[in-house]
Amino acid sequence: MKRIAVTGGAGQINYNLLFRIASGDLLGKDVPVALHILEVPPFIDVLKGVVMELNDCCFPLLQEIVIGTDPFEVFEDVNFALLVGAKPRSKGMERKDLILDNGKIFVEQGKALNAKAAKDVKVVVVGNPCNTNCLICMHNAPDISKDQFFAMTRLDENRAKAFLAQEAKVLTTDVKKMAIWGNHSKTQVPDFFHAEIQGKKAIEVLSEDWLKNTFVEKVQNRGGAIIEARGKSSAASAASAALDTVFSLVSTTPEDDWHSLCLYTKNNPYNIDNDLIFSFPCRTLEDGSIKIIEAVEWTPYLEEKIALSQKELLEEREMIAHLL
Ligand code: NAD
Ligand code: LMR
């Protein structure tokens, strides 16, 4: 059985995510799970309602549910920690505007994971701004190897794949190597130069003008477009991307593909500052280790845009330096 910690259990992402984990969409239909769900005191009763519904589903794989408001209790022995619980932005805000409110959450949660989680715990931060929150969490968990911390750009990758597939009139499964570089923010860099559609470079299939001037902005602004349309930020698609992230962490990546993942930059092959959580194209190897794909050639366009995303992450780090 695997123990899965999920934070923000009464929130909108979790009203989808918890049920999908319990039904076997995280680790497969043959892996029993225990859910360890954290909430803040004002929303614990709402979470109790969610737990009633989880029980009422009779999920065969769901063997135990632990809930609470103290991460030092809830994170006991967990093998995965999906850190979702944090304020979402609303219309007109950027994700980094959340940093001072949300950043501090990840100090205590990092300490609690350090003290209580299973040694093999893999931590995936979803709560925004997720790269910098992940950096805070990792620095507050000094006994957990830094290569066990990740933040999520898989939703951006999935959005990018969907846009490319729609434009090329193919299936999303025909799109591969759709890397996102940098920060999960408007400065993210969806790398259309290396994306492939049915085995061909996307730039050979679609117009470079559309890729550069329409596609990139659509991906960068998709989170905002959803807030504009729904009045709330993405939830079911975010939950789905979190499941995809964990799937890619625990399964060997096919030879002809990559997955986008934000991870610790120490000794990265692209000369990005050594103390950030940054999105790279990655591959999970047969032994379970995660490798950044090396020697992806940066065009001058990529170089300029990736530098801007790095600059934003350096500024975010400056703002929360006291939490590291
Ligand atoms: P929500 O407001 O519906 O739910 C958040 C929940 O977290 C609330 O129930 C809140 O009480 C709880 N919470 C707050 N502080 C907590 C703490 N210290 N411990 C435990 N729980 C806590 O928000 P949501 O729509 O579910 O989004 C959650 C976060 O995920 C937001 O920051 C949002 O911006 C982010 N997000 C990230 C991505 C991504 O791609 N990385 C995608 C979508 C949303
Ligand atoms: C997203 O990309 O949908 C999330 O990061 C939520 C947001 O604030 O846009």
Rg (CA), the chain: 19
Confidence band for 193, pLDDT divided at 50, 70 and 90: very high
Confidence band for 138, pLDDT divided at 50, 70 and 90: very high
Closest ligand 1 atom to residue 14 Cα is 26
Residue 184 annotated to the active site: yes
Q: Which residues are CB-neighbours of 271 under 8 A, at least 6 positions away? A: none
Q: What percent of the chain has pLDDT over 90?
A: 97
- The per-residue pLDDT of the chain, averaged, comes to 97
pLDDT of residue 22: 98
- What are the tens digits of pLDDT across the range 112-122? 999 999 999 99
- What are the tens digits of pLDDT across the range 46-70? 999 999 999 999 999 999 999 999 9
Confidence band for 89, pLDDT divided at 50, 70 and 90: confident
Closest ligand 2 atom to residue 88 Cα is 8
| Residue 161 to residue 143: CA distance in whole angstroms | 37
CA of 88 to the centre of ligand 2 (A): 8
For CA atoms 256, 262, 268, 273, give the dihedral sign.
positive
Q: What percent of the chain has pLDDT over 70?
A: 100
Q: Tell the residue nearest (CA) to atom 33 of ligand 1.
A: 88
Give 267-302 as a 3 state SS string.
Answer: CCCCCCCCCCEEEEEEEECCCCCEEECCCCCCCHHH
pTM: 0.97
Q: In what order do the strands lie in the sheet with 200-201?
A: 175-176, 196-197, 200-201
Q: Tell the residue nearest (CA) to atom 1 of ligand 2.
A: 223
pLDDT of residue 96: 83
Q: Tell the residue nearest (CA) to atom 31 of ligand 1.
A: 88
Confidence band for 90, pLDDT divided at 50, 70 and 90: confident
Confidence band for 170, pLDDT divided at 50, 70 and 90: very high
According to DSSP, the residues that pair with 259 across neighbouring strands are 282
CA of 209 to the centre of ligand 1 (A): 36
Confidence band for 95, pLDDT divided at 50, 70 and 90: confident
Per the listing, tokens 């979402």 go with: 88
How large is the average pLDDT for residues 296-306? 97
pLDDT of residue 127: 97
Nearest Cα neighbor of 96 from 218, 228, 9, 223 is 223
**130-139 and 105-116 helices, crossing angle to 10°:** 50
Which residues does a 6 A CB cutoff place in the pocket of ligand 2?
Answer: 88-89, 95, 128, 155, 223-224, 226-227, 233-234, 238
Which residues does a 6 A CB cutoff place in the pocket of ligand 1?
Answer: 7-8, 10-13, 38-40, 43, 84-89, 105, 126-128, 130, 152, 155, 184, 233-235, 238
> Is-contact 85 127, C-beta < 8 A?
yes
- What are the tens digits of pLDDT across the range 222-245? 999 999 999 999 999 999 999 999
| Residue 227 to residue 307: CA distance in whole angstroms | 27
Confidence band for 29, pLDDT divided at 50, 70 and 90: very high
According to DSSP, the residues that pair with 197 across neighbouring strands are 175, 200
